[in-house]
Amino acid sequence: MKILCYTSFTFSYLNRARVLFQTLRQHRPDWELAALITDKPPEGFVFDPASEPFDRLVWASDLGIPNFQSWLFKHDVVEVCTAVKGPFLHQACDWGFDAVIYMDPDTAALSTLEPLEQWLSEHDILLTPHLIDPNDDHAAILDNDLSASRTGIFNLGFVAIRTTGEGARFARWWNDRLLNYCYDDMPNGLFVDQRWCDHVPALFDNVKIIRDPGYNVASWNLSTRKVSVEKDGRILVNGAPLRFWHFTKLGAVGDSMTKRYAGQNYPVYEIWSWYRRLVTAATDPAIPERWWAFGAYDDGRPIAKQDRVLYRERTDLQQAFPNPFASGRGSFQEWLEHEGA
């Protein structure tokens, strides 16, 4: 089976994406790996795709999204790195691959992912739910069960499709939804791409919900997943081989949630320590922390979230200011200072 695996990120997450690609290369050297980047390199950083651990580079600006500058401005960094996943997946269905897999950049493969290929030979769409076992503890229910109810039953840090049949139909539908409705707006039923995929088992046939505990291990499911290490070095989760781990929110928040639910399950901390070392080794000091080229107006002033929300809600502003990133006379920025206040 010919498989393309991609991830979506900005340069501030290049270190994590490098680790993902390095671990995928180790365990699935036959997969083609693609980087989808919605960013521009920061000044002083020399980006050489040929030296990176991926095979294919796609800039979000080359996906053919209509009115790209205007569309991009409507999203913050998390929203846009999620939104471009749909157009990429849809277009990749025509690139000659049997299947396409998406994985978040803060993920690492820890053993062979061959079972995914077997499932993709039998199913058109693969999804991993946040939870595969119910929590009984009150705090865990609040943190994990109710969180999944708000943000989506499935974690879209992973999705895999066949490029024909229902997989292709899903990719086209996801493309349309993410181009127009990929926002962090939970009061209106949106949490980027995840809430949309709550509909997938109802809208599409031949869907496989992966309930194997070795897939998409993360802080939100450690309350029901026990990690152990065998004498031969194999890492197991509830007795099943660990396949890939989603190291979401590397830092204080991730540490807090991991400690809360890992408790004395010490192999968890060893895995996190291993991942931190890899990310540190993959970090280029020339990339400023939290760098994103589209996080500021042309004059360098940061773009406030409310500026983006106002712009996306007003078609008259979109028509008047097709490049809302511009600064100076006649710009959206100037309009905000005088009219939008």
Residue 327 near residue 333 (C-beta atoms within 8 A) = yes
State the pLDDT at residue 264: 84
In whole angstroms, give the CA distance from residue 22 to residue 17. 8
Give pLDDT tens digits for 51-86: 999 999 999 999 999 999 999 999 999 999 999 999
- Report the DSSP beta bridge partners of residue 246: 107
Q: Using alpha carbons only, how large is the chain's radius of gyration in Å?
A: 20
Identify the residue whose tokens are 């974690």.
155
SS3 per residue for 253-295: HHHHHHHHHHCCCCHHHHHHHHHHHHHHHCCCCCCCCCCCHHH
State the pLDDT at residue 309: 96
* Angle separating helix axes 165-180 and 85-92, nearest 10 degrees: 150
Residue 16 near residue 249 (C-beta atoms within 8 A) = no
CATH numbers and ranges of domains, the chain: 3-281 (3.90.550.10), 296-338 (no CATH)
Give pLDDT tens digits for 154-202: 999 999 999 999 999 999 999 999 999 999 998 898 899 999 999 999 9
Q: What is the mean pLDDT of residues 123-143?
A: 90
Q: What is the mean pLDDT of residues 23-43?
A: 97
Residues 6+ apart with CB under 8 A from 178: 82, 83, 84, 85, 86, 87, 193, 196
Q: Is the pLDDT of residue 219 over 90?
A: no
SS3 per residue for 10-69: CHHHHHHHHHHHHHHHHHCCCCEEEEEECCCCCCCCCCCHHHCCCCEEEEHHHCCCCCHH
- Report the DSSP beta bridge partners of residue 129: 154
Q: Report the helix count and the strand count for the chain, using DSSP H and E.
A: 14, 14
Confidence band for 295, pLDDT divided at 50, 70 and 90: very high
H or E segment at 160? strand 154-162
In whole angstroms, give the CA distance from residue 164 to residue 96. 11
In whole angstroms, give the CA distance from residue 90 to residue 163. 9
Return the number of other C-beta atoms located less than 10 Å from residue 274's C-beta. 13
Alpha helices for 143-251 (secondary structure H): 146-151, 165-180, 200-203
Comparing C-alpha atoms, which of 146, 129, 134, 149 is closest to residue 212? 129
CA distances from 163 to 35, 117, 136 (A): 19, 13, 39
State the pLDDT at residue 88: 98
Q: Is the pLDDT of residue 31 over 90?
A: yes
State the pLDDT at residue 340: 59
State the pLDDT at residue 254: 67
Give pLDDT tens digits for 255-289: 777 888 788 888 999 999 999 999 999 999 999 98
Q: What is the mean pLDDT of the chain?
A: 94
Query: What are the tokens at 134?
Result: 């119910």
Confidence band for 142, pLDDT divided at 50, 70 and 90: confident
In whole angstroms, give the CA distance from residue 38 to residue 281. 23
Give pLDDT tens digits for 5-22: 999 999 999 999 999 999
Cβ burial of 202 (10 Å; 0-12, 13-18, 19+) is: exposed
Calculate the CA 109 to chain-centre distance: 15
State the pLDDT at residue 339: 77
- Letter string b/e over residues 114-148, b meaning 16 or more CB atoms within 10 A of that residue's CB: eebbebbeebbbbbbbbbbeebeeeebeebbeeeb
Q: Is the pLDDT of residue 341 over 60?
A: no
